[in-house]
Amino acid sequence: MAPTLPANRAASAGDTGRMSDIPARPAHYDLDSLLAVAVGVFNERGYDGTSMEDLARASGITKSSFYHHIEGKEQLLRLALERALAGLFAVTAETGAGSGRAIDRLEYVLRREVAVLADELPYVALLLRIRGNTGTEQWALEQRRTFDRFVSGLVAEAAADGDLRSDVDPALVARLIFGMINSMVEWLRPDRHRAGEIADAVVRIGLDGLRP
């Protein structure tokens, strides 16, 4: 599912024999592989701080060749944000609206969101950093707010059930706990951390300490 990341150099004239450490330049490029490269650079330098020249260089081809495969810079952003949002909304779809106690559905959502964040890390990281400068970004921010309302409602429901301590505002709890989860994008390295372990820690910090 996840396209592999080429990440090699242009090597205009003499690409000498370092082919063993550095993955060889792919035989051909498609939108998905270039998207993966672009999202990586977007996360390093920020979307606005990334030029098409940066993306071309990171892909190992020229700007012109890069444009052969894509419509423009904003298309890359849109595809990345759509992918991140698809992951988040898959969680809300799984959870449904009213089966089981809210506190249990909340724990499920917490764990699943940690998993989505780990699985789609660069895409979600990008989503969490946009500021609304373009129409695409404004649309994505509105989608994020919809997701935030969903989880916030879940926390409120669990509080109404008496399954969360009553001396903290549920809306505040929702913001802090999901802020805690979202902050993972700043340091998570999927090759060095296990999502399940982090989800356990999140539940222990966020829920075990809040249960009455």
Tell me whether residue 46 or residue 100 sits nearer to DNA (CB atom).
46
| Among the listed residues 133, 140, 141, 154, the single contact to its own copies using CB under 8 A | 133
Instruction: Work out the angle at residue 134's Cα, subtended by the Cα atoms of residues 129 and 138, and round it to the nearest 5 degrees.
Output: 65
CA distance 174 to 170: 6
173 binds, among DNA, its own copies, none (CB under 5 to 8 A by kind): its own copies
User: What three-state secondary structure class fits 131?
Assistant: coil
Q: What contacts 158, CB < 8 A, 6 or more positions away?
A: 101, 102, 103, 106, 164, 170
Please report, as residue ranges, which positions from 1 to 60 form the binding site for DNA (by CB under 7 A). 6, 9-10, 12-13, 28-29, 50-53
In contact, 154 and 109? CB cutoff 8 Å:
yes
Please, which residue, 36 or 184, has the CB nearer to its own copies? 184
Chain residues 171-210 in contact with its own copies, contact rule CB under 8 A:
172-173, 175-180, 182-184, 186-187, 197-198, 200-202, 204-210
The answer to whether the CB of 152 falls within 8 A of the CB of 171 is yes
Which ranges of 120-166 does DSSP label H, i.e. alpha helix? 121-127, 135-160
Which one of residues 5, 31, 63, 119 is an interface residue with DNA (CB under 7 A)? Answer: 63
Binding window for its own copies (CB under 8 A); candidates: 4-12, 61-69, 96-104, 164-172 = 164-172
Interface residues with DNA (CB under 7 A) are 6, 9-10, 12-13, 28-29, 50-53, 61-65, 67-69, 72-74
